[in-house]
Amino acid sequence: MEATANASLLVRGLQPEYRGSPVRDAKRTRRFASLFKIPQEAQGMPQLDLKNPALTPGHPAEATWFRIVERRIIMSVQTNINLKDDRRWLSQLIAMRALEFFKATSDLLPSEPYIYSSQKGDLVAEFTAVRGTLTSIVSPKFILLFAVVDGSPMEKKVERESGFEELRSELRQLTESLRMGRNGSMATGN
């Protein structure tokens, strides 16, 4: 709780800047990322060290687009507490959950996502793949995955308590279908 409170104070002190220099953006990204280190026991899930992911044991490889999406999420963290219900911004909690999600699964995800905030304040990420599309919704308590493979929908819901291993396992099944088709036949691209 104390760590979160400190983070809020620090975050509030930063001004929203969307057109800053890349160096300043990178600095800001690192600064925000350091705020997302919260006590492991408070979260009930394996902690992800977003500042230095290489030190996290058994950490999956990052997709090439991961850093871009990470920057977009961090730059969208709500800094003004008076802005309620403004969907241009993500709450710190959702931003943290989204970063955890992408950190844990980016190597399995089919493409760079299009991200936006839902009316309920959760993060929605849209992906396109060879055989269809994948939508993931990151909420504080669950991750909802919805894939349309060759025109057929498939839905999976993973509760946060289930942990990243189950999430990765569910996601692996969906992304394999998106790559190979429902019957496992390889897409020809025609």
Nearest Cα residue to 97 out of 156, 144, 149: 144
Least spacing, CB of residue 179 vs another protein, in Å: 19
**d(Cα 55, Cα 141) in Å, to the nearest integer?**
26
Least spacing, CB of residue 103 vs another protein, in Å: 17
Least spacing, CB of residue 112 vs another protein, in Å: 8
Nearer to another protein, 120 or 172 (CB): 120
Nearer to another protein, 11 or 124 (CB): 124
Buried b (16+ CB within 10 A) or exposed e, 87-96: eebbebebbb
- Strand order from edge to edge, sheet including 142-149: 114-117, 123-129, 132-138, 142-149, 152-159
Least spacing, CB of residue 186 vs another protein, in Å: 23
Bridge-based pairing of strands 142-149 and 114-117 is: unpaired
Nearer to another protein, 27 or 88 (CB): 88
Nearer to another protein, 103 or 113 (CB): 113
Q: Which residues bind another protein (CB under 8 A)?
A: 16, 18, 71-77, 85-90, 114-120, 124, 126, 133, 135, 137, 144, 146, 148, 151-153, 155, 157
Q: Cα 164–167–169 angle (5° rounding)?
A: 110
